[in-house]
Structure 1
Amino acid sequence: MSDMFNVLFSLAKDGGSSAVPVASPGSSSRDNLIATVYKQLKTRAKILEPYRRLKNALKNLQDEYLQSKDNNVFMRYSRMQHMIHEVILLEKQYWQLVDIPAQEISESPNAYVFKVMSLLEERSSQPPPKTGGIASLLGATMLNVADKTKDQNLYEQIRNKSTDDLRRECDRLYTELFKLIRKYLGLRRVVQELTSSFQDSRFYPIVPRYPLLKTMIKRVLRAPAFSEICHEASE
């Protein structure tokens, strides 16, 4: 465990104020590669969870919309309101998602990914809000121990890789993370636009609002960001 945190401390000290990736796969030391791959995998896990929430919600919207075509107008209107509300609930429950800045024009993909990695790591290092009660304290303590064990196992798996494998993994993960971030931000924008449109239509009566709801849903299902992931399985 001490080796792991020594490497990560060195990483933060040497690279924390830099705007370039910590490890360039072709030229970094083994310790730097280990620390970078560790950060990459931790970042992927932090983004995958909210990405899957967005993807699953939108795919469920698609399925519900297709099924609603068999209903009469009034029942379908009610179902469309409900299915949209289920999606935009994610935007209201902001803690289920993660805020990621957009890529600057001047940023290379690797530098952008590293910026996101550093930002999410900085947020996760902040202490969680205090909760009352012995049960809450014990639950948080057990969860913390489990997370540390999981992190240690992940670190050991990475350290057991050869240096060449680490270079290939580092390179692959920069590319994978960039694609994942792009897809996540695309779906987040779709949900934000749907939220705004739905809120704007709240005070319309059913006659003009019914076609508006249909248009909102069709806009979501035709959005390039959703079309890119609609073939992926729900998780």
Structure 2
Amino acid sequence: MFNVLISLAKDGTSNGTSLVSQGTSNRDTLIMTVYKQYRTRQRILEPYRRLKNALKHLQEEYYESKENNLFMRYARLQHMIREVIMLEKQYWQLIEIPQMEVHETPNAYVQRIMILLDEKGSQPVKSGGIASLLSATMNITDKTKDQGLYDTIRSKSTDELKKECDRLYTELYKLIRKYLGLKEEVKKLADSYSDSRFYPIMPRYPLLKTMIKRVLRAPAFAEICHEVNE
């Protein structure tokens, strides 16, 4: 069933324009679009929360470290930065999302990301043994959740679906933009930290403070700093 649904979704989004804005009467395509929007949101939320929580923890640790002496704080600054940039090294904890093209509308961009993540999520796992068994178990669980999500969406009226579709396009665009902004700040922090590795403590100590303050003052972090940890 899900292969048929995915096929419907790809047919409905291949032209790069909002289905709702076209005033479509194809309820099945509309249902599938909302379904794919929710699936995309779920896939982005987890890595987004990892980045957000890591940077908010960095903020808390930085302010608490002011009570330490210079040498203790220096060690603590190093540790807190390494905790954040670990996400950059452990690439499997994040997802790769391309930037928006100049010619793209927000809805077309979101649709491209929806298709991209759906294709990545449908790729088979090339592994054996326990890893393969765990993957199969997770797939069963995911399909059960997906079926429940699909049934919930299908129970909505067409007008409700159109409103939900428009709302989710806006929400996904904002979520993608925030995710990419945080990911870029972590990458900059990782590069700066790597460049400072061979400096002695005295010139490096203010550099570490500057790195952290630059992240905490960045517009991407300022936008999410008041969100709760998840």
The TM-score normalised by the length of structure 1 is 0.93
**Correspondence for 1:65:** 62
Confirm or deny: 8 A CA contact 2:87 2:94 kept in the other structure. yes
Deviation at 1:10, TM superposition (A): 2.6
After TM superposition, the structure 1 stretch with the greater mean CA deviation from structure 2, 207-216 or 26-35, is: 26-35
Matching of residues 45-124 of structure 1 within 5 Å: 45-124=42-121
- The 8 Å contact of residues 25 and 168 in structure 1, kept in 2 or not, is answered as no
Aligned residue among 148, 157, 166 for 2:143:
148
Equivalent residue for 1:32? 29
Query: Shift of residue 138 of structure 1?
Result: 3.2
The equivalent position to 2:16 in structure 1, one of 15, 20, 28, is 20
Structure 1 residues 143, 170: CA separation in 2 closer, same or farther (over 3 Å shift)?
Answer: same
1:217 aligned residue (208, 212, 218): 212
Give the aligned length.
Answer: 229
Measure, in 1, the Cα distance between the counterparts of 2:21 and 2:152: 18
Superposed displacement of residue 23, structure 1: 2.1
Kindly provide the CA deviation profile for residues 43-95 of structure 1, in whole angstroms up to 9, marking residues without a partner as x: 00000000000000000000000000000000000000000000000000001
Q: For 2:78 and 2:187, how far apart are their aligned partners in 1? A: 16
The structural deviation recorded for 1:179 is 0.3
Identity of matched residues, %: 62
Q: What residue identity is the alignment partner of 2:8?
A: S
Q: 1:127 aligned to 2:118?
A: no
| Amino acid paired to 2:46 | E
Q: Which residue of 2 aligns with 1:198?
A: 193
- Report the Cα offset of residue 219 of structure 1: 0.2
Shift of 1:22: 6.1
- Provide the residue aligned with 1:226 in structure 2: 221
Distance 2:7 2:48 in 1: 29
Work out whether residues 19 and 30 of structure 2, in 8 Å CA contact, stay in contact via their aligned partners in 1.
yes
**1:25 offset after TM fit, Å?**
4.8
Q: 1:160 & 1:141 partners in 2: Cα distance?
A: 29
Q: Given that residues 110 and 173 in structure 2 are in contact (C-alpha distance below 8 angstroms), is that contact kept between their aligned partners in structure 1? A: yes
User: Equivalents in 2 of 1:19, 1:93: separation in Å?
Assistant: 35
Is 1:175 matched with 2:175? no
Whichever residue aligns with residue 7 of structure 2, its letter is F
Identify unmatched segments of 5+ residues in structure 2.
none
The separation in 2 between residues aligned to 1:202 and 1:81, in whole angstroms, is: 10
CA distance in 2, matches of 1:189, 1:111: 22
Q: How far has the Cα of 1:19 moved from its partner?
A: 4.2
Paired amino acid for 1:36: T
1:8 aligns with 2:3: no
Find the residue that maps to 2:223 and give its secondary structure. helix
Q: Are 1:11 and 1:22, in contact at CA under 8 Å, matched by a contact in 2? A: no
| TM-score, length of structure 2 as denominator length | 0.95
